[in-house]
Structures are given as C-alpha cells and as structure tokens.
Structure 1
C-alpha cells in the first residue's frame, strides 16, 4: 500500500473508531502490519491467518482454551452449533463457570434461576433461546453480558498489560 493510501486508511479508521484516539489507531495498525509481516515470513502464506491469530492470543493474553480460540464469542456459548444459545447450553456454561459451595444442597436450582434471569434480560424476541441478533443487542446494551455464561475474552490483567505495551508509545 502506498504511503498516501496508508494515511487515508488511518484517517478513515481514526474517524470511525469510538474508543481509540488517532495515535492509538495508528499503534493498532502498526501492530497489525507487524503481525502480518511476521506471519508472512514465518509461514509460507501471506496474511494474518488462524494460526497467527491463535499465536497472538496465546503470547499476548495467555489464552489457551481451544473452545474459545476456535470460535467468536457467540459461538463459544452455542455449544451444538445450531445458531442459538439454548437454555440447556446456558445451564452447562453457567454450571461450569460458577463456584459451587459445598454447603449448597441443590446448586442446579440456582443455576436454573440464573438461566431464567439471563433469558429474560437477553432474549429480545422472546422465543426461549438466544439468536445471534439477541446476543448482539444484549451485549451492545450491556457490555458485562459479553461474559455472562463464562469467560470468552482475555482477563482484565492481561488486557491492561497488552494495552500498556501497545499504547505506551502513543502520544496522548
């Protein structure tokens, strides 16, 4: 890409970015270019493929869970891949992500209650399951719901460390 084309791309991205200033966008573009160049020299192909993406998530954030690395956030929870997050899938994800106290006599009942609360909050079309559209709208309305059924993104400590490393060179 020409220098002028790169500047136009950077300006366009900076204008449309809601959570980054222009210097941060420039740092992210430079990071992407570095990763693509490293991928092109390390692997036979050209570009930022799944292997490079997984390696980056591992090295930058310590992420190793294959279920998370091989899917986007919605698909992490859509266990059977049918395009919906059902009550049963919510139950499994919540049951696996909650710490159950030994004194809890019937922990499954508490998890079932949480599933009903999540459905009430996130099921916009009221069909008893979450479509991608339901999930996307719920997450846009409340960012904390992105990890409602268990973690699918890097932990906060890794995220802060990554941001400091990438943006420390960015002028404020």
Structure 2
C-alpha cells in the first residue's frame, strides 16, 4: 500500500486513522470497480472530507453535496436529471450516499464500459421503473431538455417533434414504446443516441479535468 501522504491538509495522525479505518473497504472496492487501490483511497478521502461538512456527518455525504459535484466538477446542470441520477446511483429513500455508492458512481462516470453506460442512461430515463419508455415519458424528458436549453416558449411543440423523431428512430419493434432492448440496440448502432433524452454522463473534457484531481495518468476514453 502507498506510504505517500494523501492530503497536505491532514496531519499525520488523522491520515493514519483514515488509512487504518478504510483500508479493508478500499481493497474490496478496488476489486469491484474500475480503480486501483491507491485511486480508491483518494476517492474515499474526497468523500471523507465532504462528509465532515454534511448536514448529518454520521449519515454520510448528502444529496446536495453530490449535486454540487455533478454541477461544478462534471458540468451537469439539469435539476430533474440530477435527481434521477442520484436515485439511479443510490436507490432508496435516504438522501445520503454511502462510500460504496460514491465509488461506484465515479467508476461509472470516469471508467465505465459502454454497456454500463447504456444501462445507466436507460435507468435514469426510466422514471416509472418499467424498463420501457412510453411516448409520455419520452415527451416529458424532451420537454425538460428543451426548457433547460431555451426557456418554455414553444417548448411543448419542439418536445413533441423531438419525441416523434426519437421514437421513430429507437422503437425498433414498432410497438409505440422504447424498450430496454430497443434502446440498447439503437445506441450500439448509433452511439450518439446514448444521451439523446438528456445528459446523464460527463463529457470527455470534464472526465479528464476531474481525473487530474487524483494525480494519476489520464486514461484515453
């Protein structure tokens, strides 16, 4: 395990306590996600420091802190989709995120496979949890995107037009709905459709910028 100091703002005693407390967790998470042990340790340190300023530190990092990361570090700005992203990444009624969910989220955003990202984006869009996107769901997502880009004027008509185009393009079995299989096959054929219903993932530029905070080599995406 690395003996290099993790953070200059921590004294040696606090760092020793941190490493001792979370070493086993870091080992387990490094085996489970797309990070090395040293990278997980640095991710857990970021979580640990955020947790100190949480509205309830005993519960962990809260939803508003995670939204700040999405907004400020990963340039995601749609309030509706940020709520959906949080729920998809950390299912359940709690407004707090665990260390494992935090690591899992960054594993997906920074190093996730294309199939992991397809499954994630569909889950974000699937607000009813039925593994099917009906016309009403697609319209709602399109309207949210239009409003966030240019205000409410004519948003409904633009959203209807976009819904028709996307449904026609992605509804492969022509049953009037976009199933998970429809979505996956459409995106595998045309990767640009991955976030056609709204931004769920950071851009390559934001991935690279965030990655530099760990002090490890940037991976080409």
Same fold (TM over 0.5): yes
Measured at CA, do residues 23 and 128 of structure 1 come closer, stay the same or move farther in structure 2, by a change above 3 Å? farther
SS in 2 for 1:149: coil
Matching of residue 8 in structure 1 with residue 24 in structure 2: yes
Give the unaligned 5+ runs of structure 1: 99-106
- The count of residues paired between Structure 1 and Structure 2 equals 150
Normalising by structure 2, we get a TM-score of 0.50
Measured at CA, do residues 148 and 55 of structure 1 come closer, stay the same or move farther in structure 2, by a change above 3 Å? same
**Distance of 1:67 and 1:75 partners within structure 2:** 14
Per the TM alignment, residue 160 of structure 1 is displaced from its structure 2 partner at its CA by: 1.9
Kept after mapping to 1: 8 A contact 2:145/2:198: yes
Q: Deviations over 1:29-84 (max 9, x none)?
A: 22112211232xxx3553212122122222323433211221125565346x4744
Matches within 5 A, 1:86-165: 86-91=134-139, 93=141, 112-120=164-172, 128-130=176-178, 134=180, 138=184, 142=188, 146-165=194-213
**Distance of 2:195 and 2:76 partners within structure 1:** 15
**Distance of 1:110 and 1:3 partners within structure 2:** 51
**Distance of 2:64 and 2:161 partners within structure 1:** 41
Kept after mapping to 2: 8 A contact 1:67/1:76: no
Kept after mapping to 1: 8 A contact 2:135/2:163: no
Normalising by structure 1, we get a TM-score of 0.62
**1:21 equivalent among 36, 45, 49:** 36
Q: Deviations over 1:85-125 (max 9, x none)?
A: 21343355458769xxxxxxxx97786343233232xx8xx
**Distance of 2:198 and 2:18 partners within structure 1:** 43
SS in 1 for 2:200: coil
Please report the RMSD computed on the Cα atoms of aligned residues, expressed in angstroms.
3.9
Higher relative contact order (CA 8 A, sep 6+): 1
Matches within 5 A, 1:11-90: 11-17=27-33, 19-39=34-54, 43-46=55-58, 47-72=60-85, 73-74=121-122, 76-78=124-126, 81=128, 83=130, 84-90=132-138
Measured at CA, do residues 31 and 15 of structure 1 come closer, stay the same or move farther in structure 2, by a change above 3 Å? same
Give the unaligned 5+ runs of structure 2: 1-16, 86-120, 147-157
**Distance of 1:45 and 1:158 partners within structure 2:** 28
